[in-house]
Amino acid sequence: MTQAPEVRDELQSDLGWALGVMLRAYAKGAGHVIAGVPGGPRGYQVLAAAASGAEGTQLALANKLGIDRTVMTYLLDDLEQAGLIERRPDPADRRARRIVATDAGRATMCELQGKLAHVESRVLSALDEAERELFRALLRRAATRVDEHDPLADACTVVDQFAASPTASAVAASTASAGSSPTASPAGSAGASPGASRRRRKGQI
């Protein structure tokens, strides 16, 4: 069913609708990019942290990313089995393990970042380069201020929370009427290993 022009115009002037459309498009593209990473979005977070050189212990990394310690163990098992990270003894505490990206892990991260940059470019294709830089700067400033008052504990839940919101229904309806099919939040589920899927059903992820 096609929406009346005045209804669509009202949606397009709404901040929630605009943010929802952007989030949906980016999540869809990013979900495809990280689909092959063991553990999906959470596995990507862990690999990104390890590849950044911020080598932390398994416990510190779990706390920083807001990931349950049991789930973190499964994620590290999968990433280590794939040859992307290593657990090394912590010189300060031999009982602890530091999480370090392997050469293959760092190469994979570089490849993923290149593909994510391409996704971002597609999402912002309506803007020229100067406008993109201004958009990023303003959005980053606004997001930082919001996060100071309402910190985000787990970035992986954002898409799932959005998918359950009324705004998501409005976005899906408006994009469907424009000829594009609505898509479920792929970034919240893509790339998880069969073991991770079983653990999710048990309520661990």
For the stretch 34-67, pLDDT in tens is 999 999 989 999 999 999 876 678 888 888 888 8
Share the mean pLDDT of the chain: 78
Sequence-ordered list of residues with C-beta below 8 angstroms from that of 204, at least 6 positions apart, any chain:
68, 70, 71, 74
Query: Would you say residue 142 has pLDDT above 60?
Result: yes
| Distance from C-alpha of 50 to C-alpha of 104, rounded to nearest angstrom | 12
Range from 35-44, 70-79, 104-113, 163-172 carrying the lowest mean pLDDT: 163-172
Report the chain's terminal Cα–Cα distance, integer Å: 37
| Distance from C-alpha of 165 to C-alpha of 23, rounded to nearest angstrom | 13
Average pLDDT in the 123-141 region?
96
pLDDT of residue 8: 57
pLDDT of residue 191: 40
Question: What's this model's pTM, rounded to 2 decimal places?
Answer: 0.68
Of the chain, the percentage scoring pLDDT greater than 90 comes to 43
| Distance from C-alpha of 150 to C-alpha of 60, rounded to nearest angstrom | 21
